[in-house]
Homo-oligomer: A and B are copies of this chain.
C-alpha cells in the first residue's frame, strides 16, 4: 500500500472507532468520511462495505475473545469457564452497540468480510460448551449454533435501554438454561 493510502486507511479506522462508539455500528459512513476529512470514495475504496469496516475495526477484539476461550479451556471449572466467556462476549457486544445484528446476519454468508470472525467466535463458544458437556455440567442437547443464538438474543436485549435494569437477571436465566445446575441463579 502506498504511504498516503496507508495513512488514510489508518486514520479512517481511528475515526470509525470513535464514531461507532458514539453512535453505534449503524452510524453514517458519510459522517465517518467527513470527520476523517477524506473523500467518500476513499472510504469505499478501503472498506467496500460496512461489514468490511467493522471487521477491520474489531478483528483484534474477535481474536482476543477467541484466545480468551482457549485460555478458559484450561480452567478447573468448565461450567464457570463457559459462564465467564459468555459474560465477556456479552460485555463486548454491549460495548459495541449495533454489532450483533450484522454478526448474526452474516454468519451464513461466506462472502462477507465479517463471516470468518463470527464463525470463529461461534467455534470458540462451542468448544467451551463441549467441555462443560463432557463434564456433565452443561445440558447435552445443545450445540454451538444454539449457543450462538442465545448469545445473540442476550446481546440484542442488552442494547435495549428499557432492559438495562434486568440485564443481569436475564443473563442468569438464559445462561442458567445452558447449565445442568437446575435453576439456581441469584434470588432477589
Complex Cα distance, B174 from A25, in Å, reads 28
**Interface flag for A105 (CB, 8 Å):** yes
Complex Cα distance, B108 from A149, in Å, reads 26
Candidates B150, B156, B180; contact of A156 at CB < 8 Å: B156
Binds B, one of A56-64, A78-86, A89-97, A161-169: A161-169
The answer to whether B166 touches A149, judged by C-beta atoms less than 8 angstroms apart, is yes
Contacts of A76 in B (CB 8 A): none
Given contacts A105-B162, A139-B183, A162-B107, contact A170 B150 (CB under 8 A): yes
The answer to whether B146 touches A166, judged by C-beta atoms less than 8 angstroms apart, is yes
**Interface flag for A127 (CB, 8 Å):** no
The answer to whether A150 touches B162, judged by C-beta atoms less than 8 angstroms apart, is no
Within 8 A of B (CB), among A126-170: 139, 141-142, 145-146, 149-150, 152-154, 156-157, 160-163, 166, 169-170
Contacts of A108 in B (CB 8 A): 161-162
Candidates B107, B150, B157, B180; contact of A173 at CB < 8 Å: B150
Residue of B nearest to A185 (CB): B141
Closest beta carbon of chain B to A91's beta carbon, Å: 17
The answer to whether A145 touches B173, judged by C-beta atoms less than 8 angstroms apart, is no
Complex Cα distance, B161 from A105, in Å, reads 7
